[in-house]
Amino acid sequence: MDRVIFHVDLDAFYASVEQLDNPALKGRPVIVGARPGTRGVVSACSYEARRYGIHSAMPITQAHRRCPHGVYLIPRMERYVEMSERVMAILADFTPALQQISIDEAFLDLTGTRRLLGAPREVAGRLKARVREETGLALSVGIAANKYLAKIASDSGKPDGLVQVSGEQAADFLDGLPLAKLWGVGEKTLERLAELNITTVHELRSFSEDILCSMMGEAGGRFLYRAARGQDPGIFPAEAKSRSISSEVTFETDRKDEGSIRRALLDLSQQVMARLIRGRWQANTVTLKLRYWDFSNTTVQKTMKHWLTSSDEIYRMAIELLGERWDGSTPVRLVGVGTANVVSADEPRQRELFPDEYDKKRKVEEAVTRLREKMADLPLTRASLLGKRRGGQPPRGPAKDGGASPTP
DNA sequence: TCTGGGGTCCTAGGACCC
DNA sequence: TCTGGGGTCCTAGGACCC
């Protein structure tokens, strides 16, 4: 029996939530991302804004030039997470086979539910209606026999869409789409394929798997071969487990004084450690990422024989890696600190030479993290972080949320 | 004109082991 | 004097997605 997979996707999610919370924004171009004039990009925008050619990932300065009278908002993640959870709860009412893949997207496996729930298309209609009634949000649904095709189907129907693609329709359906609409085919792949005179899904389908593999690499070739046929290339693993946790920051202007960079590294190290602790994770690799003024990137990482126990340890490693990679004068645009080889903190700690010592340090760090969170706005943080923000603002917190209010 | 922040997966080379 | 084949782990870079 064919499987019945739904892919559901909330339309212009962040922008829709903002319009919901502030009805004065309805019908207006709403751009969520960053304040105009700063370094930042569009995270999401309303359909009114798209009419000006604005889209996600566009630099905010460019968006502002295209639409100066738009409403520009800073993301309010907590609110979006809250709305996302409400929507996911509704979806879970339809089936326990629910897989959330991002804040605004999920797969539902409705295979074998026809007798119980009705025909897939009717179920999708009810699902959309319930979400709209209970949350005020619109979502698009794609229905197909696998996740890959369902995902592309939902995208093709946006906004407020409902598109079902049967197995027989798959090839025709894909042939009607630009190559770039294939999930996993980005700018570089598009260029590579164009060099080979492949510009449509139809043309792509005429190549054998062997040839595609020799041209695009083993994994890339296999992926494209299946994608062009609407077969699932297996890009959505059943359960995604966290393998890395990182934080990064782009300076408002490029930096070449070591002090600014060190302060940022300390801040980021604390953020990363706090997230490890909050998620009950442990990790043994530290990564440092640098983006220079010319947008070139470099990363260095170092793996330890023991689990990381404190933000100080992460910070010290980051400084060491900085010494390896930075000449001290090239302007730096972005710094990032991360951890890799992240596993559950409950996992046995065989590699610990001194498990008691580890437990002790970790407990101290947990306490420090809790305190920092509790007193987020107080100068509990290190003295070297103080005075980081200009204009007499407090060191943490408010600056980030100051522009979040959706009041026009 | 300027290009965020959080991730995942793949590739290719080198170290090391059997 | 010549020189295998496989496996695993680590590292750095890059493509891609939301």
A57 CB and strand B closer than 7 A? yes
| Catalytic residue flag (residue A105) | yes
Report, as ranges of residue numbers, the positions in chain A whose pLDDT lies below 50: 380-381, 386-408
A285 CB and strand C closer than 7 A? yes
Nucleotides of C under 7 A from a protein CB: 10-18
Q: What is the pLDDT of residue A366?
A: 85
User: What tokens were used for A206?
Assistant: 């005429």
Q: What is the pLDDT of residue A238?
A: 64
pLDDT digit string, tens, across residues A183-217: 999 999 999 999 999 999 999 999 999 999 999 99
**Contact at 8 Å (CB) between A18 and A64?**
no
Q: What is the pLDDT of residue A369?
A: 83
Task: Choose the catalytic residue: A18, A48, A105, A365.
Answer: A105
A190 CB and strand C closer than 7 A? yes
Interatomic CA distance for residues A212 and A189, integer angstroms: 12
A234 CB and strand B closer than 7 A? no
A184 CB and strand C closer than 7 A? yes
Q: What is the pLDDT of residue A397?
A: 34
A186 CB and strand C closer than 7 A? yes
Residues 31-50 of A with CB under 7 A from strand B: 34, 38-41, 43
pLDDT digit string, tens, across residues A262-312: 999 999 999 999 999 999 999 999 999 999 999 999 999 999 988 999 999
Q: Which nucleotide lies closest to A339 by the C1' atom and the CA atom?
A: B7
Of A164, A278, A320, A151, the closest CA to residue A227 belongs to A151
Continuous H helices in A141-230: 147-157, 170-175, 187-195, 201-205, 209-216, 218-227
**Contact at 8 Å (CB) between A80 and A17?**
yes
What size, in residues, is chain A?
Answer: 408
Q: Calculate the alpha carbon distances from A149 to A6, A216, A251 in Å.
A: 10, 22, 40
Distance from CA(A205) to C1'(C18), angstroms, rounded: 27
Nucleotides of B under 7 A from a protein CB: 1-12
Of A239, A240, A241, A344, the closest CA to residue A283 belongs to A344
